[in-house]
Chains A and B, each alone.
Chain A
Amino acid sequence: AQTVTQSQPEMSVQEAETVTLSCTYDTSESDYYLFWYKQPPSRQMILVIRQEAYKQQNATENRFSVNFQKAAKSFSLKISDSQLGDAAMYFCAYYTGNQFYFGTGTSLTVIP
């Protein structure tokens, strides 16, 4: 079974500082994709960043970047220069064979 684990139910960060959210996954597949999604209080799911497992280079999207450690099955999200609008639930997700698997989420608070 595929599993995605987010070990930090809650995190907080000062505005303008950097925070890292952790995610590990368990799989025997070689072809898969990893994602971070943001869910603000509006409940709308928003894609933050995507990583293809076959790519060694870590994905970046503006202030968001990942640290993808394939051998360790680790996929952490780094948010730089945190902004108040970054406050939300963040979900790590894994995709293979037309199936998505999500972690339980990390609630991020941004302190002004």
Chain B
Amino acid sequence: NAGVTQTPKFRILKIGQSMTLQCTQDMNHNYMYWYRQDPGMGLKLIYYSVGAGITDKGEVPNGYNVSRSTTEDFPLRLELAAPSQTSVYFCASSYSKGGTDTQYFGPGTRLTVL
């Protein structure tokens, strides 16, 4: 099992550009999450999904969109990138509710918006 994979590992965007961060898990997990980690800070939840076709907002959803058309994939879309979106983005998954089950994290995507 590859676990949770994220692409790309690094990306530099110009202000106003758009991009999609890819996240794939091969563990047949129902729950998937997107977080951002700003320098010197903890993770903040952007969006989560409890299954294919079902997504919901986390603590900091503004400026982002997600979709979950399959169990395996949970892409995060940035529209009109802004410098405030410079961060490290982590995708995570768990089989059942995050409190009762272990979250498995991807290696992260470092995004810089200039």
**Chain A residues in contact with chain B, CB under 8 A?**
4, 32-33, 42-47, 50, 52, 91, 93, 95-96, 98-105
Contacts and interface: CB of A to CB of B under 8 A. Distances in A.
Given A32-B99, A95-B99, A101-B59, A4 B42 contact: yes
B18 interface: no
B44 interface: yes
A100 B107 contact: no
Chain B CB within 10 Å, residue with most, of A50, A93, A98:
A98
B53 to A, nearest CB: 16
The secondary-structure label for the interface of chain A is: strand
B97 A98 contact: yes
Contact of A100 (B56, B98, B102): B98
A99 B42 contact: no
Contacts of A91: 42-43
Contacts of A104: 40-42
A53 to B, nearest CB: 9
A86 B59 CA distance: 30
B102 A102 contact: no
Given A98-B48, A104-B41, A47 B99 contact: no
B45 to A, nearest CB: 5
A43 B98 CA distance: 20
B19 to A, nearest CB: 20
Interface in B80-98: 88, 90, 92, 97-98
A31 B41 CA distance: 26
Nearest to A1: B59
Given A44-B105, A100-B43, A95 B98 contact: yes
A42 B88 CA distance: 12
